[in-house]
Amino acid sequence: MKKPFAITLDPGSSLANHTGSWRTERPVYVDRLPPCNCACPAGEDIQGWLYHAEGGDYRRAWEALMKNNPFPAIMGRVCYHPCEAACNRGKLDEAVGIHAVERFLGDLAIREGWLPGKIAEPGAKRILVVGSGPSGLSCAYHLCLMGHRVIVMDSAKAAGGMMRYGIPKYRLPRDVLDAEISRIERMGVELRLNSKIDDLMAAMAGFDAAFLAVGAHLARRTDIPAGDASRILDAVSLLHDLEDGSPPMLGRRVVVYGGGNTALDVARTAKRLGALESLIVYRRTKEQMPAHESELNEALEEGILFKWLSTVKAMAGGSVTVEKMTLDETGFPKPTGEFEKIEADSLVLALGQESELDLLRNVPDLEIEKGTVKVNRSMMTSHPGIFAGGDMVPSDRTVTSAVGHGKKAAKNISAWLRNETCIAPEKHEIAGFDKMNTWYYSDAPRTIQPELDIARRGSTFDEVVKGLTGENALFEARRCLSCGNCFECDNCYGVCPDNAVIKLGPGLRFAFDYDYCKGCGLCASECPCGAIKMIPESI
C-alpha cells in the first residue's frame, strides 16, 4: 500500500519509542520468604511443595518436601506446625492446613513406595550417627543423599528415639513410623540397634565424623516425699516401657504432674490404659501451659481433668497432697500454704527430660552447659568433627527442630569433611501480610464455579489420588496464598498498561521488558503474593 505521508502509519511501529526512559522506579521479581517457611524449624520450603500439590503433582510435591524433611508422614502428624500459626491466610480466614497436606503426601508416598529421586553415589567418608531419633535419622538421611556412608547406632531395640518412645501410638501409628524409617534404610543408611555406645572416642575409630543425637531420655525428678504403697513413676519410662510391651500398672486414678506435652501424652495414655480418672496437676495457669493448644484441646475432649495453680507436695496412702499456688505480679507462681488431698493410685512425673551424656566423658574440650552440649552455628561441638543436635543441644525439643538440626548438621559435616565452611544463604525478606494484595484471594464466585469444577476433575483423575482424602488435600493445598513467591497468576502480565511484562511460559515465570516499563508500579501493587518489588532506578 502506498501510504499517505504522516497521517497513515505502519502497525505497531511505536515499538521504536522506548518509554522505559520515563522510569524513576523499576519493578523486580523477588522471592520473599513465606511466613510458613520462616517459621518451620525443619526449614521446609512449604510454599514450594504446596505449589506442586496445588497442581495435583503429588510426587513432585513430596520430592520437594523430602529435600528438607525425610518424615512427611510423621511430621504431618506430630509437628505442632508453627507454620500454620504464621500463615498469612490466617489473617484472611483460616490458616492453610499445611500439616494435613504434608501427612497426605507422606502417606501417599508410603503407599506408593516412593524413594527420593537423587541419591549421590557413596563416597569414602564414613560418618557415625549416635541415636536414631528424628535428628539422628534426619542427619543420616541428608548425609546419605550427599553420598556419605552413614552408620546409625542406637541402644534401643527399635529405631525412632522419642518418636517411638515418647510419642504415643495414637498420635503416631507405628506402621507409619516404621515405613519412614525403613525408607531411610532402603536408601543405604545402616542402622545398628541394641548398640549402646559407652565411649564415643573409642567408637569413633574408622569414622571421619560423628553426629550425636542421643536425645533426652532421662526424666527430670523432683523430691516428693512418698509413703508406703505410693506408686510414683516418671513419664519417660512409662512411655518407653509401654512401647517395649510392658505397660505399667497405673490404677484407676492417675495424677500427672507437669504442664508440657509429655504430661498430656501420659494423661491421655493413662486413659487409654484404663484409668477412670486422669488428672493433670500444673503449678501455673492454663494459659501458661507450655503444651500445644491442639493437644490440650484433644485432652479436654477426651475428659482429662486439670488442676491449675497447684504443686505436688507429697504422696501417701492413695492420695496426693497438693499446695495451691497464686501468681505474683510478675506472673510467677507463689505458694499459698493451702493444701489439698487428691485421691490417686499413681503419680506420674512429667517434669522434663535430661540427656544421658556419659558417653562423652572422654571427649576432650567438650563444652557442656546445663546438661546440654554446646554447639556452634554449624552444629559442631567444641571438639572438631563431632557435631550434635536434637534434644541434647539447647533447643525447644520438638521433633521438627530435631529434624532441622539433622539437616543443618549434615550440610555442615559434609562441608567440614571437604575442609569447607557451609555458609547459609541470607534469608529473604519476609512476605508479610502487608506485602500481599489479598483482593485476589477469594471465595470461588458462583459464576466461575463450572471452571473450578473442571480444574478439580482434571487434577483428581490422577490415579494416585483416590477418594475424598486426595480431593481434600488438593483443596487445602490450593488455599495456599503462595506468599512472596510467584505462582504464575499472570496478574503482572495482564495489568501492565505498557505490555512490559514478558510471559516466559509455564513454570518459567515472567520477565520485565525495561525498554517499555514506565515504572508505574501497577504490577507490584496488583501482585497477589508480593513477589514484585519496586526499587529506585539508578542512573
**Which string of x and - marks every residue 399-438 that binds another protein (by CB under 8 A)?**
----------------------------------------
Binding of another protein at residue 2 (CB under 8 A)?
yes
Distance in angstroms (rounded) separating the CA atoms of residues 313 and 321: 5
Residue 268, burial from CB neighbour count under 10 angstroms (0-12, 13-18, 19+):
buried
Closer to another protein by Cβ: residue 5 or 301: 5
Distance CA 342, CA 250 (A): 15
Residue of the chain from 85, 249, 454, 535 that contacts another protein (CB under 8 A): 454
β 353-354/218-219 pair status: antiparallel
The answer to the question of residue 489 lying near another protein (CB under 8 A) is yes
Check binding of 445 to another protein (CB under 8 A). yes
Q: Which is nearer to another protein, 6 or 468 (CB)?
A: 6
Residue pointed to by grid coordinates 546440654:
372
- Does position 26 interact with another protein (CB under 8 A)? The reply is no
d(CA 53, CA 29) in angstroms, rounded, equals: 23
457 is a site residue for another protein (CB under 8 A): no
Q: Is 22 in the site for another protein (CB under 8 A)?
A: yes
Q: Which listed residue (207, 433, 493, 514) binds another protein by CB under 8 A? A: 493
Question: Would the CA dihedral through 130, 136, 137, 139 be positive or negative?
Answer: negative
Told to check if 480 binds another protein by CB under 8 A, we report yes
The backbone torsions φ and ψ at residue 326, rounded to the nearest 5 degrees and listed phi first, read -135, 155
Residue choice 41, 82, 389, 528 for contact with another protein (CB under 8 A): 528
CB of 34 or CB of 136, closer to another protein: 34
Q: Is 364 in the site for another protein (CB under 8 A)?
A: no
Three-state secondary structure call for residue 473: helix
Q: Which stretch binds another protein (CB under 8 A): 111-119, 190-198, 242-250, 514-522?
A: 514-522
**Structural contact between residues 44 and 68, judged by C-beta atoms closer than 8 angstroms:** yes
Per rule CB under 8 A, is residue 485 in the interface with another protein?
A: no
DSSP conformation class of 184: H
Among 159-167, 328-336, 404-412, 494-502, the segment contacting another protein (CB under 8 A): 494-502
Residues in 46-105 that interact with another protein by CB under 8 A:
54-55, 92-93
- Out of 229, 418, 440, 511, point to the residue binding another protein (CB under 8 A): 440
- The burial class, CB within 10 Å (0-12 / 13-18 / 19+), for 441 is middle
The span of 66-74, 123-131, 290-298, 478-486 binding another protein (CB under 8 A) equals: 478-486
Q: Is the dihedral of CA 355, 356, 361, 362 positive or negative?
A: negative
469 binds another protein (CB under 8 A): no
Piece in contact with another protein (CB under 8 A), picked from 120-128, 179-187, 285-293, 475-483: 475-483
Q: Which of 146, 478, 512, 531 binds another protein (CB under 8 A)?
A: 478
Contact range with another protein by CB under 8 A, out of 4-12, 36-44, 351-359, 415-423: 4-12
3-state secondary structure of 270: helix
Single-letter amino acid code for the residue at 192: R
6 binds another protein (CB under 8 A): yes
Size of the site for another protein (CB under 8 A): 79
Tell which one of 147, 521, 533, 537 touches another protein (CB under 8 A): 521
Provide the b/e sequence for 452-481 (b: ≥16 CB within 10 Å). eeeeeeebbeeeebeeeebeebbebbbbbb
Closest contact distance (angstroms) between CB of 455 and another protein is 5
Burial 504-530 (b: 16+ CB within 10 A, else e): eeeeebbebeeebbbbbebbbebbbbb
Q: Does 449 bind another protein (CB under 8 A)?
A: yes
- Distance between CA atoms of residues 119 and 106, nearest Å: 19
Of 58, 397, 46, 84, the closest CA to residue 220 belongs to 397
The CA radius of gyration of the chain, in Å to the nearest whole number, is: 28
The only residue of 206, 337, 467, 497 in contact with another protein, by rule CB under 8 A: 497
Minimum CB distance to another protein, residue 29 (Å): 16
Q: Is residue 460 at the binding interface for another protein, with CB under 8 A as the rule?
A: no
Residue from 195, 237, 321, 525 touching another protein (CB under 8 A): that is: 525
Task: Assess 287 for contact with another protein (CB under 8 A).
Answer: no
Query: Nearest approach, Cβ of 470 to another protein (angstroms)?
Result: 15
Please give the DSSP secondary-structure letter assigned to residue 362: T
Integer Cα distance of 401 and 391 in angstroms:
9
Q: Is the CB of residue 192 less than 8 Å from the CB of residue 368?
A: no
